[in-house]
Structure formats: C-alpha cells, structure tokens
Amino acid sequence: GLSDVTVTGGLGYDQGRSHVAVQLSVYLPVGFWQPASVDIPTRSINVLSTGKNRAAIDPTVGYTFLDPKTGRELSVATGITLPFRNVATDYLTAPELHVELAAMQHLPSGLAVGAHGYAYSQLGDDSGSGADAFRQAVGVTSLKAQVFAVGPLVTYATKVGGHGVTAKLKYSHEFEARKHLESNVLQLSAAMAF
C-alpha cells in the first residue's frame, strides 16, 4: 500500500571545497495504517502498516568537504526527528537523533565509490498510554531504541538532456540494535535536477 509522504525543503551554501546544507523534512501521515494485533506468546503480527499514523518534523544540518582536484569527499549530516502523537493509540515516540557519514572517492567517469554509516538513537523513552501498554505486554522497562550501520556506497553522476542525473546504490549492515529491528538493507535511488 501507499506509505507516508515526506516533503523536504532546504538551503545550501558553498565556499570553495566546503558545502553546508540545512533542510527541514515534514512527514505526512497519508499511508495505510491500521492498529496491529500482536500475539505475544507466539510473537506473531496480524497487521503490518506502511504508514505510522502520525506526523513528524526533521530539521537536519549537513556538511560536505569535496576536493575537486583529488576527488575525495567526506560528508556528515545530523538531524533530529520530532514525532507527533499517534492519537489513535496515544503513543508518542521519543525524539530520534540520527547521524550519517560518508567517505567517497570520485572518479573522472562520474562514478564514485566509498563507505557510509549511520547511528540512530532515541533521546528518551516513548510515552503515552499506548507505550505503557506495549512496555507491559512485552515485559520491558524501556522502549528507547538505537541502531548503527556501515556499508559500501556507489554513486554515478551524469547529464541527460542538459539535466543532472545521479544514481546511488548502497548496502547497510545494521548492528548493535536495541529495541529496534536489525536489518541488512540494499537501496537504489535515482534523481534528476530540473
């Protein structure tokens, strides 16, 4: 089904080899959502939603150092997701800090290869009667989540009809997860500038 929609706006500033970007993302709860039915003894979930049934805002600041002579790039972005309450379940997810890093070597062909990583950590515990009920059902004292990831990253940049086109392929191996799913994720994305 349809997932939630993210609308992002931002500003950037370049000076020499340094590039700074500030952006604000707004998550709109338009995706399919239905309260899940969880059978704790067998840990089965009868409903999986593609939406979260709550809005959120996410201010993020990013910095990139890119040396065009050597093709070396180092980027870091830090943001904090501030979720709103899911009123259907009275569940408020605690603010979520996320830090993303990438080190790349750009080649003259438009190809770039490197590594990336991220850290995700909630700054507090989830709250509301829904969080209290879930803590009690699964027998934990805290729902505070964290996860880390590392993996390879490949990008390609070119022009099509005078427009910049980029493609990105990355693999993330997650580890040290606490109260969070631990996954291996392969992502492919493409963008065209107008």
pLDDT tens digit string along 70-98? Answer: 999 999 999 999 999 999 889 999 999 99
- Checking if the pLDDT of 20 tops 70, the result is yes
- The pLDDT tens digits for 2-17 are 789 999 999 999 999 9
Token digits of residue 121:
């950590």
Note the pLDDT of residue 38.
62
pLDDT at 62: 98
pLDDT value of position 9: 96
Residue 42 pLDDT exceeds 90: no
pLDDT attached to residue 181: 86
134: left (phi over 0), alpha (psi -120 to 50) or beta: alpha
Ranges 16-25, 27-36, 104-113, 151-160: which has the least confidence:
27-36
pLDDT of 139: 87
Distance, CA of 3 to CA of 38 (rounded, Å): 21
